[in-house]
Structure 1
């Protein structure tokens, strides 16, 4: 897997340059980033899983360090205020070490409140980026709009360090996908498939970038199906898995669909969607409007349904009438990086503003034109969802659909194929397919 260590110094220099400009725009002197605090359940001392502030893990490959802080003042070395409590109830975090430590001034604290003396003063001159529950004394996250807009917009352009980590996340996830497919072929339940995935990746559910979507048969028609049935169905006809992995806080997000019968029509439909998805990924290039990629995906997918006899009208007519949204109800994809649905997918510029979604496509998560350095998902899907099909019929579009063909495919649930694409100066670099080829 690619080594991020030689790339980190340049990455940090990029972050400092972005912070300098963001602070200047906000009229502030210091950037202060809390890692986050634990959330506790009501009337108990049990904490929810800890998820680090994305702004924090952009600077450091640390993801399990609550009550720590990064402080950056232009012209000075960044500081890490690191909580290393005296504790016998839990494992105490080890003192940071590794290739990135030399770039920071490290301050060890034993209680969260000790950070106050080390934070820059006055607090009113700090851009404090985080959630409200990270407040410490007068240091309450204020998330200044000018600072946040600038940093979010430029977070879309991944550094080589970030790309190296995202490639690692691809390799880890593909190991899990291979194990999950084997478990499906062996007749495992959704829960057992999930456990096989986690074991192969080496990450538990709280470490993965999102909850695994693992659907057998009709469950593949639920877009975010995470119930993880404990009992295998009597007959496993199909399997959809949408699952990623984390590498130092950076995410992968990969989906594959399988048929139990390699000679079935459903397998043929999977192969048709896969071929179309590869073409969609090949269209990723600088200057390409992601909104248009989404519209083109609708036309391509409706062409597949037309070929398989599911719809009776042209792809163009299915798109115009809204019938296509009954079978492909989500967006083509989204930005990917520190978060699965990464920031600034709608950003008009680094000074704010929003590029609206196309009318009739309320779930598209990316409306910007593609530029080098962006990483996006390309995830077309076809589903047989009772609610949406009933809505299409109620809207007067029943004649556009062959309901016998729908009944034939409904027991398989649906199909989604998802790769992660890096936009480069020369076009799209598919980060996912090479990982499958190597594993």
Structure 2
């Protein structure tokens, strides 16, 4: 068995989670960690359920993402217990019995109804730290999400085990393959909807599997940061393509964005290439001890320099950052933590006991303010956009003279540019999981 396979890496991952759980329980004065997988949510005034999403606190322990009604019980000094919901049902596909490399590490009890769980949970619910949503309650076992326990576990989730990095590598491999297919569909003249279908086909994942809704933009639609409408017909002419789309693997996510021009020789493609080169330098800054807030501010300086080089702004990079001109073109954060969730938790946590690290003044959309440490995986996603609302605000603030509006008009039909990779911080050079995956796609 290869030392890099999930089977080989999983025991160390499980041992790390058990150590974290023991410390979290100690801080909250509990004896057991109890985690429901989550249950189905039904639409209001209807009998249809929303797509099921597993509790992230549950899937951190095992690659089981489609088992609503199941429970985990973690008691320090004992093997973890899985209460696996396998209902008697002829309306839906019943989850198959657990199998794979991880099952030997758990005591597994099969339950048939939600109420069955209570018979196998610890005797005293008051001694349990129960992490989940309120509607997952069974009898006295009501998720309370005690703050000391949640703060500790979420803070340490930023530090990925080698097993988790392997899971994210596989998610990245799937995502890169699907991105290649999406670019081919774009070059062949497909619509936004057609590109989306090509992506899902190549990934082997649909809306219920993907970690987030695909953002697929042609032309001006790239100026809408979270555009998800997906026109059924392509525009005329097609100028540009921005795709922000991820993939999942055993509960872990990748998050990838690429931008292309329809004409490889035009100014817009040259700007894409400039952003791509700057983005690679930002990825290389993902080093232990580096403040992610500073990385965000450095990104503003780099992007403002590109805008100046292309004649879009008339002021220097420092002035553009200080005045807010750069924020009109780069209005979001440089990125976020990623792992079990696309926007992973505890991005602002000052410590594993709580507290908050503030965002830089004037930068409200940054999702991570921590100092980078080995094991962290973050996205690096600089962007430049031509957004009417934000450009109008520049004029209202008396900053119109800082911009060459003719150059803005030339780029506006392309919408915008975003390049995004997932990067792991190590003791030495960072690992760019996304570029690694594209190299093999």
Shorter-chain TM range is over 0.9
Measure, in 2, the Cα distance between the counterparts of 1:3 and 1:393.
56
Partner of 2:342: 340
Measure, in 2, the Cα distance between the counterparts of 1:378 and 1:387.
25
1:45 shift after superposition: 1.7
* Bigger mean CA offset, 241-250 vs 129-138: 129-138
* Bigger mean CA offset, 383-392 vs 43-52: 43-52
1:42 shift after superposition: 1.7
Partner of 1:438: 440
Measure, in 1, the Cα distance between the counterparts of 2:111 and 2:384.
52
1:232 shift after superposition: 1.2
| SS of match in other structure, 1:106 | strand
1:206 shift after superposition: 1.2
Unpaired stretches in structure 2, ≥5 consecutive residues: none
Deviation string 1:3-37 (CA, Å, 9 cap, x unpaired) is 31110011000000000000000000000000000
Partner of 1:204: 206
1:132 shift after superposition: 1.4
Partner of 1:288: 290
Per the normalisation by structure 1, the TM-score is 0.99
Partner of 1:326: 328
1:125 shift after superposition: 0.8
| SS of match in other structure, 1:153 | helix
Q: Any residues of structure 2 matched to 1:286-435 within 5 Å, and which?
A: 286-435=288-437
Per the normalisation by structure 2, the TM-score is 0.99
Measure, in 2, the Cα distance between the counterparts of 1:116 and 1:235.
61
Runs of 4+ in 1 over 4 A off after TM superposition: none
1:174 correspondence with 2:176 = yes
Measure, in 2, the Cα distance between the counterparts of 1:305 and 1:257.
17
Deviation string 1:233-287 (CA, Å, 9 cap, x unpaired) is 1211100000010010000000000000000000000000000000000111000
1:427 shift after superposition: 2.6
Partner of 1:111: 113
Q: Any residues of structure 2 matched to 1:13-412 within 5 Å, and which?
A: 13-412=15-414
Instruction: Give aligned pairs, total.
Output: 439
Deviation string 1:136-191 (CA, Å, 9 cap, x unpaired) is 12111111110001001111100000000000000000011000000000110101
Measure, in 2, the Cα distance between the counterparts of 1:413 and 1:3.
42
Q: Is the 8 A contact 1:333 1:366 kept in 2?
A: yes
Measure, in 2, the Cα distance between the counterparts of 1:3 and 1:183.
33
1:304 shift after superposition: 0.1
| SS of match in other structure, 2:399 | helix
Measure, in 1, the Cα distance between the counterparts of 2:231 and 2:24.
47
Measure, in 1, the Cα distance between the counterparts of 2:60 and 2:95.
19
1:131 shift after superposition: 1.2
